[in-house]
């Protein structure tokens, strides 16, 4: 157990809908990262927050957004869902904002039907 929690574990929804994924970082970690892992594919970096501020953006679609709250938990919002958005979504946390080890949560499996 890495100490990073994610909810929900599984999510099934229809195309066009909007969902929110939640992540709580390890105690003391200020950075949260979001990743998308499609079936049999690698990890795509989406976005990073550090102490409430957006720090880096990767391959995040405009339909996706995220935020980090004062208590450091983060939410990833996915809207106008498409079949291709079906994937595992991981969040990871780290102590600092750069160049340090990240600890992954268990992931949320999103299925869009």
CB of 101 to other proteins, least distance (A): 5
Token couple for 42: 């690698």
The CA-CA-CA angle for residues 81, 86, 90, to 5°, reads 105
Secondary structure string (H, E, C) spanning the chain: CCCCEEECCEEEECCCCCEEEEEECCCCCCEEEEEEECCCCCEEEEEEEECCEEEEECCCCCCEEEEECCCCCEEEEECCCCHHHCEEEEEEEECCCCCCCCEECCCEEEEEC
| Candidate residues 42, 62, 70, 83; the one interacting with other proteins per rule CB under 8 A | 42
Q: Does 104 bind other proteins (CB under 8 A)?
A: yes
| Contact pick of 38, 41, 80, 113 for other proteins (by CB under 8 A) | 41
Among 15, 38, 51, 98, binds other proteins (CB under 8 A): 98
Measured from the CB atom, is 59 or 80 closer to other proteins?
Answer: 59
The answer to the question of residue 45 lying near other proteins (CB under 8 A) is yes
Q: Which of 66, 90, 93, 108 binds other proteins (CB under 8 A)?
A: 90
**Binding residues for other proteins (CB under 8 A):** 2, 33, 41-45, 48, 50, 55-56, 58, 90, 92, 97-107
């Amino acid at each position: 157990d890495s100490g990073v929690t994610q909810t929900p574990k599984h999510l099934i929804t229809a195309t066009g809908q909007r969902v929110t994924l939640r992540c709580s970082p390890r105690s003391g970690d200020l950075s949260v990262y979001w990743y998308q892992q499609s079936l049999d594919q690698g990890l795509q970096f989406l976005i990073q927050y550090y102490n409430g501020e957006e720090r880096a953006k990767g391959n995040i679609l405009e339909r996706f957004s995220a935020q980090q709250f004062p208590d450091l938990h983060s939410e990833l919002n996915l809207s106008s869902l498409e079949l291709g958005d079906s994937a595992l979504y991981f969040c990871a946390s780290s102590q600092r904002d750069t160049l340090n080890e990240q600890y992954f949560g268990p992931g949320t499996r999103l299925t869009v039907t």
